[in-house]
Chains A and B, each alone.
Chain A
Amino acid sequence: MGKYFDMLMEDVRFREGLKSCMNCGICTGVCPAAEFYDYDPRQIVSIVQTRDEEQIERLLKSDTIWFCGECMSCRPRCPRGNTPGYVIQSLRTLSQKLGFFVESEKGRQQLAIKRTIGENILRTGYCIVPRLVAPALHPEQGPVWEWIYRNDREIYCQFNPTYDQPGPGAVRRIDEDTLQEMHRIFEVTGGRAFFDRIEECSERKAREMGYDGADERYFMDVFTRNSQDNDE
Chain B
Amino acid sequence: MNRNWKEYQKEIADDRYYYARSCIRQNFFPGSEKAFLDIMRNDLGRDCFDDPLHTSCTGIGYHADIVPLDTIMAVVARQFALMGEAGYENFISSCITSFGIYTEILATWEEFPETEERARENLYKATGRTLVKPKNLSHTSDVVFHHREAIAARARHRLVNVLTGEPLRVVEHIGCHYAKIFPKSGVGGSEFPYVLAGMIESWGGECVDYPERRHCCGFGFRNYLVQANRGYSVANTQKKMESMAPYKPDFIVANCPGCAMFLDKWQYTIAEMEGTTYGENGHGIPVLTYEEMAGLVLGYDPWALGMQMHQVDVEPLLDKMGIEYDPAAKYLGMNGKYIGQPASAIVNCGSQDTIYNIKQ
Output the least CB separation between A1 and chain B (Å).
20
A178 CA to B85 CA, complexed, in Å: 15
A68 CA to B358 CA, complexed, in Å: 25
Q: What is the interface residue range for chain B against chain A?
A: 35 or more
Listed A/B pairs (27) with beta-carbon separation below 8 Å: A16-B111, A32-B216, A35-B239, A36-B236, A70-B220, A93-B65, A118-B61, A121-B56, A121-B61, A127-B56, A141-B265, A142-B342, A143-B344, A146-B342, A147-B342, A147-B343, A151-B340, A159-B34, A171-B26, A181-B126, A185-B71, A185-B74, A186-B71, A189-B70, A189-B73, A198-B66, A223-B228
B5 at the interface (CB under 8 A from A): no
Given A142-B342, A184-B127, 6 other A-B residues pairs in contact with their CB atoms under 8 A: A151-B340, A169-B34, A185-B123, A191-B67, A225-B228, A226-B229
A137 CA to B26 CA, complexed, in Å: 20
* Chain A contacts for B21, CB-based, 8 A: 170
Smallest CB-CB separation from A162: which chain B residue?
Answer: B52
Smallest CB-CB separation from B128: which chain A residue?
Answer: A181
A79 at the interface (CB under 8 A from B): no
B23 at the interface (CB under 8 A from A): yes
By the criterion of a CB under 8 Å from any partner CB, how many residues of chain A are at the interface? 90
Q: Give the 6 A-B CB pairs with smallest separation, nearest first.
A: A69-B220, A154-B333, A191-B71, A170-B26, A170-B30, A147-B342
Interface, chain B (partner A; CB < 8 A): 21, 23-24, 26-27, 30-31, 33-34, 50-53, 55-56, 58-61, 63-71, 73-75, 78, 100, 108, 111-112, 115, 122-123, 125-127, 176-177, 179-181, 183, 190-191, 214-216, 218-223, 225-232, 234-236, 239, 265-266, 268-269, 304, 306, 308-311, 331, 333-334, 337, 339-345, 354-356, 358
Interchain Cβ contacts within 8 Å, total number: 263
A195 at the interface (CB under 8 A from B): yes
A150 CA to B127 CA, complexed, in Å: 37
Are A174 and B55 in contact, with the CB atoms below 8 A? Answer: yes
User: Which A residues from 159 to 204 make CB contacts under 8 A with B?
Assistant: 159-160, 163, 166-172, 174-175, 178, 181-182, 184-191, 194-195, 198
- The listed residue (A15, A121, A147, A223) touching B331 by CB distance below 8 A is A147
A232 at the interface (CB under 8 A from B): no
A89 CA to B53 CA, complexed, in Å: 30
Output the least CB separation between B247 and chain A (Å).
21
Interface, chain A (partner B; CB < 8 A): 11-13, 15-16, 32-33, 35-37, 66-73, 75-76, 89, 92-93, 96, 106, 109-110, 112-114, 116-118, 121, 125-130, 133, 137, 139-148, 150-151, 154-160, 163, 166-172, 174-175, 178, 181-182, 184-191, 194-195, 198, 222-226
* Chain A contacts for B71, CB-based, 8 A: 185-186, 189-191, 194
Smallest CB-CB separation from A160: which chain B residue?
Answer: B30
Output the least CB separation between A195 and chain B (Å).
7
